[in-house]
């Protein structure tokens, strides 16, 4: 089925990607784990007020229900076209609906944009746990179904470990990998102790918008918070279960990756603050890191103009023939 979705006020691609509604980015380039000074900033300075970005009008998409093992299915949307594909992996608090700020902007830049709900998320069917593939295996099934050869992959929050797991299994299928606002699923004891210390009781009982959205965004864009909460309210289905990964993700495993990786986090991320992001970056061979100001765990939603700009720049740098 081909369908267009309209959410809120329409924006031009220029106003979303390069207009005044930009937060400042702090960036660092790193190669083989060695920090290297770099500069990258949006047009707004740190002293200028942040302006919320309304959800733009969506472009038409084709929707699919892709069968996966164990009687499950993945709801997927695809903007189509001849551009290089980019697949978006949603946070655990969201679903394939989590990308209205990205869908028209990335498509307008000439990319084929694909989003989907993992098992147990909105419009997808979890199936039988005992017969289910890994989450990265499901992604590979989806890529085969859509006829993708090589593509760019971006995983946010809980989508981050899935994207890392996919890269460890199918690195030759990726042009680039972006991981945003994610602890990345690293299982080293030292790292798990550190990240657990950042979330003391009663952190788990706090409201989801408090945990996942930064205070500047919660205070500055109440309608945006309401739209995010609406997606969150229907994100999990009644048959949801935790899916396994194909690999145990460790720092030593990260060190085996040779593809270009971009790490993004918000300066107010309670799960993966900049210090945690930099710690993981030190175990990647070819990595760039970015801190988005006035953003929490979901910078793609809270500061979409900056986040989209970072993704488009990175994808453009690693297009086919340039990687």
Asked if the model's pLDDT at residue 315 lies above 90, the reply is yes
pLDDT for 49: 78
The model's pLDDT over 76-106, given as tens digits with 9 standing for 90+, comes to 999 999 999 999 999 999 999 999 999 999 9
Q: Which residues contact 126 (CB under 8 A, 6 or more apart)?
A: 72, 119, 120, 132, 237, 239, 240, 241
Q: What does the pLDDT average to over 159-177?
A: 98
Burial classification of residue 124, based on how many CB atoms lie within 10 Å of its CB (0-12 exposed, 13-18 middle, 19 or more buried): buried
The model's pLDDT over 188-236, given as tens digits with 9 standing for 90+, comes to 999 999 999 999 999 999 999 999 999 999 999 999 999 999 999 999 9
**34 vs 244, more confident:** 244
- Integer Cα distance of 285 and 268 in angstroms: 26
pLDDT for 50: 84
Q: How many residues are present in the chain?
A: 323
Q: What does the pLDDT average to over 114-138?
A: 98
pLDDT for 320: 87
Q: What does the pLDDT average to over 135-155?
A: 98
Token pair in block for residue 101: 């700020």
pLDDT for 47: 57
The model's pLDDT over 41-84, given as tens digits with 9 standing for 90+, comes to 333 345 577 889 999 999 999 999 999 999 999 999 999 999 99
Asked if the model's pLDDT at residue 22 lies above 60, the reply is no
DSSP string over 144-179? HHTT-SSEEEEEETTHHHHHHHHHHHHGGGEEEEEE
Q: What does the pLDDT average to over 177-181?
A: 98
pLDDT for 12: 34
pTM for the full model? 0.88
């Amino acid at each position: 089925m081909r369908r267009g979705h309209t959410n809120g006020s329409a924006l031009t691609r220029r106003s979303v990607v390069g207009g005044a509604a930009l937060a400042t980015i702090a960036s660092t380039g790193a190669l083989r784990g060695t920090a290297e000074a770099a500069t990258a900033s949006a047009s707004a300075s740190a002293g200028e007020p942040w302006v919320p970005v309304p959800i733009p009008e969506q472009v038409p998409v084709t929707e699919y229900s892709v069968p996966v093992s164990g009687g499950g299915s993945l709801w997927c949307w695809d903007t189509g076209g001849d551009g290089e594909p980019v697949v978006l992996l949603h946070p655990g608090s969201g679903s394939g609906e989590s990308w209205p700020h990205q869908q028209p902007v990335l498509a307008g830049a000439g990319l084929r944009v694909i989003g989907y709900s993992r098992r147990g998320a909105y419009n997808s069917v979890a199936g039988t746990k005992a017969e289910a593939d890994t989450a990265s295996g499901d992604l590979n099934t989806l890529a085969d179904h859509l006829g993708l050869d090589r593509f760019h992959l971006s995983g946010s929050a809980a989508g981050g470990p899935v994207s890392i797991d996919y890269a460890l299994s199918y690195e030759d299928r990726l042009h680039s990998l972006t991981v945003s606002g994610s602890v990345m699923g690293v299982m080293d004891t030292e790292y798990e102790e550190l990240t657990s210390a950042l979330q003391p009781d009663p952190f788990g009982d706090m409201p989801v918008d408090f945990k996942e959205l930064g205070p500047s965004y919660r205070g500055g864009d109440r309608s945006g918070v309401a739209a995010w909460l609406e997606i969150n309210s229907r994100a999990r289905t009644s048959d949801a279960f935790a899916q396994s990964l194909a690999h145990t993700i460790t720092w030593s495993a990260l060190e085996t990756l040779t593809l270009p990786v971009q790490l993004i986090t918000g300066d107010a991320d309670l799960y993966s603050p900049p210090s945690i992001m930099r710690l993981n970056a030190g175990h990647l061979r070819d990595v760039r890191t970015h801190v988005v100001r006035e953003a929490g765990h979901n910078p793609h939603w809270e500061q979409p103009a900056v986040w989209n700009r970072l993704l488009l720049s990175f994808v453009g740098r690693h297009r086919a023939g340039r990687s």
